Amino acid sequence: MTKTVLKGAITSVAILAGAGMALAEGNLVINGDLELTTEAPAPSHIEGLTTVYSGWVFRDSFTQAMEMDDFDNPGMLFVDAGEDMWNEPAGTSGKACADCHGDASESMAGVRAVYPKWNEAAGEVRTLEMQINACRTENQGAEALKYGKGDIVSLEAYISMQSRGMPMNVAIDGPVADVWAQGKQMYYTRTGQLELSCASCHEENYGNLIRAETLSQGQTNGFPVYRIKDSVLTSAAGRFVGCVRDTKAETYKIDSSDFVALELYVASRGNGLSVEGVSVRN
């Protein structure tokens, strides 16, 4: 990727050039054989961007390299834990995920790429975390897990890995249209004492520095993400809490319908980028 590619952010180019910084050259290739799409034309429903970039391109070469080799990607430890959960009976039913869904590499292939999505039976938009919990409480007779970090994200990571390399393809029309519109409204609404909207940083200023960090486009195709600063996996909802808090606002509840709407809208902004399974970020 070159600086001239950043047509959507002219100011970014100037500042990057001024600081002597360049976004990474080269492609995201996992284990030397699976190339992921980290740059794609923006979907037509996104007005503010011409090109969408995975958060990977904004990170330094050391962080990027960690994601390019599964051995060096600490997120893989959580994928292993998620696989154990997949095969382990839970709740009063004594059933494991595998008892109904079988081999995850077949049954879960492509799942991560289309979430959040409409659930017809429940009449609501569900994130992958919500779907996992619904399955646990309704089918397994197990307790719901807390969103954001921990076991649910390990399981989400294992499911997500089955779609690695597939393009994000979240539906925005039909029954989800209203929720999507709500998410869009939230994305462009300034909030908190700093009066920042999501767009203030991730649409108008991606590639620029915020204090010592380079702002990404805030794409969610890489989630769950292993954050080096936390040394655990975080889901998109968990990250949203941190991001809203950083605007010095009261955050929404992590399991609120507000964050579901936002997660749907933000996911749709990354349609065309590859699901990264588990990514590594700052």
Partner 1 sequence: MAENVTPRVRVPSSAAAGEVITIKTLISHIMESGQRKDGDGNLIPRSIINRFTCDFNGQNVIDVTLEPAISTNPYFEFQAQVPEAGTYTFTWYDDDGSVYTDTKDIAIG
Report, as residue numbers or ranges, the catalytic residues: 243
Number of residues that bind partner 1 (CB under 8 A): 7
- In the chain, the amino acid numbered 158 is Y
**Shortest separation between residue 150's beta carbon and partner 1, angstroms:** 12
- Compute the distance between CA of residue 270 and CA of residue 179 in angstroms, rounded to an integer: 17
**Shortest separation between residue 84's beta carbon and partner 1, angstroms:** 8
The verdict on whether omega for the bond into residue 224 sits within 30 degrees of 0, i.e. cis, is: yes
State both tokens at 122: 């429940």
In contact, 42 and 50? CB cutoff 8 Å: yes
Q: Using the rule CB under 8 A, is 88 a contact of partner 1? A: no
- In the chain, the amino acid numbered 17 is A
Q: Using the rule CB under 8 A, is 71 a contact of partner 1? A: yes
Q: Using the rule CB under 8 A, is 80 a contact of partner 1? A: yes
Which listed residue (27, 46, 74, 167) binds partner 1 by CB under 8 A? 74
Residues 195-234 that bind partner 1 (CB under 8 A): 231
- DSSP, collapsed to helix, strand or coil, labels residue 1 as coil
Which listed residue (13, 36, 40, 81) binds partner 1 by CB under 8 A? 81
Which listed residue (35, 72, 99, 178) binds partner 1 by CB under 8 A? 72
Q: Using the rule CB under 8 A, is 9 a contact of partner 1? A: no
- Helix H or strand E encompassing 35: strand 34-36
Sign of CA dihedral 4, 43, 149, 225: negative
When the beta carbons of 158 and 206 are compared against partner 1, the nearer one is 158
Site string for partner 1, 13-52 (x = CB under 8 A): ----------------------------------------
CA 173 to chain centre: 20
State both tokens at 36: 């992921």
CA distances from 155 to 145, 147, 209 (A): 11, 11, 33
When the beta carbons of 80 and 99 are compared against partner 1, the nearer one is 80
Q: Using the rule CB under 8 A, is 193 a contact of partner 1? A: no
Contacts with partner 1 by CB under 8 A lie at: 71-72, 74, 77, 80-81, 231
